[in-house]
Amino acid sequence: MNTADARRIGDELEAVGGMAVPHLEDADIVILYSCVVRHAAQETVHNELIRVGQAKRQRPSMRVALAGCMVEDDTVELARRYPFIDRFLSPKTDLPVRDQVVDLLDLDERYRVDPSDAERVGLVSQPVTISQGCNRRCTYCVIPFRRGDERSRHPREILREVRSLGQRGAKEVVLLGQIVDRYGKDIGTTLGQLLAEASEVDEIARIRFLTSYPVDFDGPLMEAVATLPKVCEDVNLPVQAGDDAVLRRMARGYKTMFYERLVDEMRSVIPRLSLSTDIIVGFCGELEAQFENTLALLERVRFDVVHVAMYSPRPGTASARLWPDDVPQEEKKRRLHEVERVQSGIAGEINGRVVGTTQDVLVEGQRKGKWFGRTRNNKLLFFSSDRDLAGLVVPVEATGASSWSLQGQLVDPVPTRIIPHAPRIAS
């Protein structure tokens, strides 16, 4: 979401004559997007702020803004610690981006360049924020305190951004919200409707969305994923724990049985669905037996991908206030590695079943002399070709698999263009 928001603000700055520079030291305006979802992320932001402060000492005309979730309601402490920050851009405020940066735009005319509104975007796949904030209060989560209550962007504004990205070279958009399935509930529309409208943008071949919430993923959304050809059969559905007592303490609002039934229904409505999830290990009071319930759930559900993190208490959250962080760090690490070990076996087996099939791959670029891209199921696939295939959907036969990626071989005939309404191949 920070990447999407930062790109939007970059677009606004370009529209008023700004230009991206590769080195921090050369910038007139620096806007740092911050994340505090875990302690390690927060430390990274502090280190970056020190670097920005050093750059500003060398270039006093530099204007600095801090954006993202580190910006609290009360910025006194941040302003005291980092007096060089000129402006705080709160993620709770939904001013048009241009209004948010207006104070930073008081630049000397000689620094300005001609607006380049048709600047191409660097990556084939681009994130687009469609809603902000969250009305839930999972006990470990700091996001609602920083990003505020849930609110949706107007579809007209989102579609304008999607169209602009398509015209500038993007082939895939990833629609983002804290609970993306709830998109539109506050403005009388739905995510399914938005997916249908975004599908009409000719230049865009694929659409994904993140992050889903189990109790909000309803039947109409399943139908939309199953029937809209550009929408990929790929869902991130965080379960967080496989034990009902831990889920209750996290205030997730569902039990494992509900979650598993939902997955069964999704898999029956959406053929070839790939499913990823998020897991927190070492949550307050998590017993060994409760952790083992999580491993057992992984074995039963068999996700394509599991993102696992160690619990890290966030100041101001209910879990940090109510319960001790009582699982030792070493034990958290062990549980994390155990999840990775179990998941590695499951992912290896799932990916192995792809070997021998032909996949439509949206080519993103080259790495170590090989082309790479993603299948509709979001699997990374590497293959060789001496043609420039970036941005095309090409058929690739999977010939090898590991837990993390696939190897393949381009299938003839070599494609030359994308058919807009169905991401298939024309020869």
Tell me if 144 contacts ligand SF4 by CB under 6 A.
Answer: yes
Tell me if 169 contacts ligand SF4 by CB under 6 A.
Answer: no
Is the preceding peptide bond at 413 cis, omega within 30 degrees of 0?
A: yes
Positive or negative: CA dihedral 159, 165, 169, 175:
negative
Tell me if 145 contacts ligand SF4 by CB under 6 A.
Answer: no
- The partner residues of 308 in beta bridges, in order of sequence, read 279
Judged by beta carbon, residue 179 or residue 204, the one nearer ligand SF4 is 179
Tell me if 36 contacts ligand SF4 by CB under 6 A.
Answer: no
CA 341 to CA 351: how far, in whole Å? 15
Q: End-to-end distance of the chain based on CA atoms, in angstroms?
A: 36
Nearest to 131 by CA among 168, 100, 162, 91: 91
Q: Total binding residues for ligand SF4 by CB under 6 A?
A: 10
Instruction: Return the range that interacts with ligand SF4 (CB under 6 A); candidates 61-69, 140-148, 199-207, 393-401.
Output: 140-148
Instruction: Return the range that interacts with ligand SF4 (CB under 6 A); candidates 133-141, 192-200, 216-224, 317-325.
Output: 133-141
Residue whose pair of structure tokens reads 């394509």 in the numeric block: 304
Nearest to 222 by CA among 256, 193, 265, 274: 265
Judged by beta carbon, residue 178 or residue 359, the one nearer ligand SF4 is 178
Tell me if 138 contacts ligand SF4 by CB under 6 A.
Answer: yes
Fill in the DSSP letter of residue 201.
-
Residue 94 contacts residue 5 (beta carbons within 8 Å)? no
Given 4, 143, 201, 339, the residue binding ligand SF4 (CB under 6 A): 143
CA 365 to CA 375: how far, in whole Å? 14
Judged by beta carbon, residue 102 or residue 245, the one nearer ligand SF4 is 245
Tell me if 1 contacts ligand SF4 by CB under 6 A.
Answer: no
Residue whose pair of structure tokens reads 């895939």 in the numeric block: 172
Nearest to 295 by CA among 346, 340, 344, 339: 339
Judged by beta carbon, residue 168 or residue 255, the one nearer ligand SF4 is 255
In the bound complex, what is the minimum distance in angstroms from residue 296's beta carbon to ligand SF4? 23
Judged by beta carbon, residue 39 or residue 424, the one nearer ligand SF4 is 39
Tell me if 183 contacts ligand SF4 by CB under 6 A.
Answer: no
Judged by beta carbon, residue 240 or residue 351, the one nearer ligand SF4 is 240
Judged by beta carbon, residue 69 or residue 224, the one nearer ligand SF4 is 69
Using DSSP, state whether 220 is helix, strand or coil.
helix
CA 349 to CA 400: how far, in whole Å? 12
Tell me if 217 contacts ligand SF4 by CB under 6 A.
Answer: no
Judged by beta carbon, residue 17 or residue 144, the one nearer ligand SF4 is 144
Tell me if 319 contacts ligand SF4 by CB under 6 A.
Answer: no
Tell me if 134 contacts ligand SF4 by CB under 6 A.
Answer: yes
In the bound complex, what is the minimum distance in angstroms from residue 179's beta carbon to ligand SF4? 5
CA 195 to each of CA 35, 48, 168, 199: distance values in angstroms, whole numbers, following the listed order: 28, 36, 20, 6
Tell me if 141 contacts ligand SF4 by CB under 6 A.
Answer: yes
Tell me if 213 contacts ligand SF4 by CB under 6 A.
Answer: yes
Tell me if 241 contacts ligand SF4 by CB under 6 A.
Answer: no
Q: Burial code of 153-180, b = ≥16 C-beta within 10 A, e = fewer?
A: bebeebbebbbbbbebbbbbbbbbbbbb
Given 8, 92, 112, 136, the residue binding ligand SF4 (CB under 6 A): 136
Which two three-digit tokens encode residue 127?
A: 């994130």
Which residues of this protein are in contact with ligand SF4, per CB under 6 A? 134, 136-138, 141, 143-144, 178-179, 213
